[in-house]
């Protein structure tokens, strides 16, 4: 058996995109661990395994790192789901999938950590809370409202106010689960079956008013 050669020398060169992803993953961990006030560029660089000089070549300060981290959620499966112009399935299946993805995202560990950070910094660093709300919450709500508007235009649901309907459906789906996750750090994210059951209940209650057919 031939002994494997140990590679020496410089580590592999990362592309700009790969390095940015590495920085954002590190920043998410640092912000979750230390909060915004306790996070520093030095800590982010250390977590990412790079020098501060390299970090500053990509981001000027920790606020721009946070803004990039929040914008990165646009690539999350929830936004991919909500912005699909021609989703497959019945209207019931489309709404069920949309609400399930929203709940999975909002109640996930990364988003809960960022929500805690935004709340903690709302008084001392209001721009952090503003960035969070505009990028993390408004984007999802607006995308869901646009989906509902398209469905109404196609005669798939009945609504005169897609934005208000979206708020009601999201609120009913999340209910007190968000507060529970925020105040119970040891609570794991809800399982897929639990989320699906919650969405089933919401659509069973609202479906008749929306003119929504069954899941099949």
Reported as a single tens digit per residue, the pLDDT across 50-70 is: 999 999 999 999 999 998 888
Average pLDDT over residues 16-36: 91
Q: Are residues 158 and 80 located together in one domain of the fold? A: yes
- Whether 210 shows a pLDDT value over 90: the answer reads yes
Same domain, 35 and 138: no
Q: How confident is the model at residue 2 (pLDDT cuts 50, 70, 90)?
A: very low
In this prediction, residue 3 carries a pLDDT of 43
The model's pLDDT over 135-165, given as tens digits with 9 standing for 90+, comes to: 778 889 999 999 999 999 999 999 999 999 9
Residue 6 lies in a domain: no
Q: How confident is the model at residue 8 (pLDDT cuts 50, 70, 90)?
A: very low
Residues 66 and 173 in one domain: no
For the chain, how many structural domains are there in total?
A: 2
Average of per-residue pLDDT across 177-189: 89
140 lies in the same domain as 191: yes
* pLDDT digit string, tens, across residues 106-128: 998 888 888 888 898 889 889 88
What is the structure's pLDDT at 75? 64
Domain presence at residue 1: no
- Domain assignment present for residue 171? The answer is yes
- The reply to whether 96 falls in a domain is yes
Is residue 41, in this structure, part of any structural domain at all? yes
Residues 142, 167: one domain?
Answer: yes
Residues 106 and 178 in one domain: yes
pLDDT score for 9: 47
Q: Are residues 60 and 120 both part of a single domain? A: no
Same-domain status, 164 and 58:
no
Average pLDDT over residues 87-109: 94
User: Do 125 and 206 lie in a common domain?
Assistant: yes
3-state secondary structure of 110: helix
Same domain, 105 and 32: no
Do the domain assignments include residue 10? no
Percent of the chain topping pLDDT 90 = 61
| pLDDT confidence bin for 12, thresholds 50/70/90 | low
For the domain that residue 86 is a member of, what is the CATH number? 1.10.357.10
180: enclosing H helix or E strand: helix 177-183
Q: Read off the pLDDT of each residue in 193-206 and give the average, rounded to a whole number.
A: 95
- Domain finish residue from 26, 52, 70: 70
Spatial CA neighbour of 157 closest among 80, 81, 98, 70: 98
Range of the domain at 55: 16-70
Band of the pLDDT at 7, cuts 50, 70, 90? very low
């Amino acid at each position: 058996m031939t002994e494997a050669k140990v590679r020496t020398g410089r580590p592999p060169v990362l592309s700009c995109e790969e390095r940015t992803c590495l920085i954002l993953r590190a920043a998410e961990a640092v912000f979750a661990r230390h909060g915004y006030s306790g996070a520093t560029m030095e800590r982010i660089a250390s977590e990412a395994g790079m020098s501060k000089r390299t970090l500053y070549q990509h981001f000027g300060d920790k606020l721009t790192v946070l803004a990039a981290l929040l914008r990165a959620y646009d690539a999350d499966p929830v936004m991919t789901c909500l912005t699909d112009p021609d989703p497959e399935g019945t209207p019931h299946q489309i709404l069920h999938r949309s609400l399930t993805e929203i709940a999975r995202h909002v109640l996930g560990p990364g988003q809960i950590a960022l929500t805690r950070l935004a709340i903690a910094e709302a008084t001392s660093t209001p721009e952090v809370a503003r960035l969070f709300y505009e990028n993390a919450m408004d984007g999802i709500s607006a995308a869901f409202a646009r989906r509902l508007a398209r469905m109404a235009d196609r005669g798939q649901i009945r609504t005169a106010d897609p934005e208000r309907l979206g708020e009601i459906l999201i609120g009913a789906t999340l209910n007190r689960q968000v507060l529970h996750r925020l105040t119970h750090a040891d609570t794991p994210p809800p399982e897929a079956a639990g989320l699906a059951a919650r969405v089933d209940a919401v659509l069973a209650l609202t479906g008749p008013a929306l003119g929504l057919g069954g899941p099949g």
